[in-house]
Amino acid sequence: MKYLFLFVLALAGTGVSFAQSGSAKQVNWTYTSKKIAENTYEVRITAVINGDYHMYAQNAGIEGPVPTTLKYAANPLVTIDGKAKEVGKMVKKFESAWDGNVNYYEKKVEFVQTVKLKGKVKTNLSGKIEFMVCNESLCLPPSEIDFKVAIGG
């Protein structure tokens, strides 16, 4: 039954994607970096979610909704230190569409990633963010966006 719902959702989302460009149309992203120690930086990837939509956490809670995923491009000058921490008010709620408890954010969430540089260099942390937004009546097709933030120097 869940797979039938996902199939119908995907078909419905195809039409919606032309009108709204998928989930990317409903989230505004910004990126900053700040030195926190010698050769160590904190990168903040901030999502501001429009209207009544919500965006799923990195751990969405169950199989079904697309969790937010950060994929970093390889850079020999940068070491990623652990997984990005989420800063925001997480909502944990039962959603009948997914037949289970899900984890998501409304309005705003920050993904905070610590990175270490190999020496005193200036470079970029870049990659892709995959995410999906839903509201009470529909889910938009998942989106993937590129990001790049300057670090070091």
What CATH number is given to the structural domain containing 34?
2.60.40.1250
- Report the distance separating Cα 37 and Cα 58, nearest Å: 26
- Report the distance separating Cα 59 and Cα 37, nearest Å: 29
3-state secondary structure of 123: strand
- Report the distance separating Cα 66 and Cα 59, nearest Å: 9
Tell me the residue range of the domain where 88 lies.
2-152
How many structural domains are present in the chain? 1
Query: Both tokens of residue 51?
Result: 């209207």
- Per-residue pLDDT of the chain (153 residues), as tens digits, is 444 344 434 444 444 333 346 899 999 999 999 999 999 999 999 999 999 999 999 999 999 999 999 999 999 999 999 999 999 999 999 998 899 999 999 999 999 999 999 999 999 999 999 999 999 999 999 999 999 999 998
Q: Are strands 27-37 and 90-95 parallel, antiparallel or unpaired?
A: unpaired
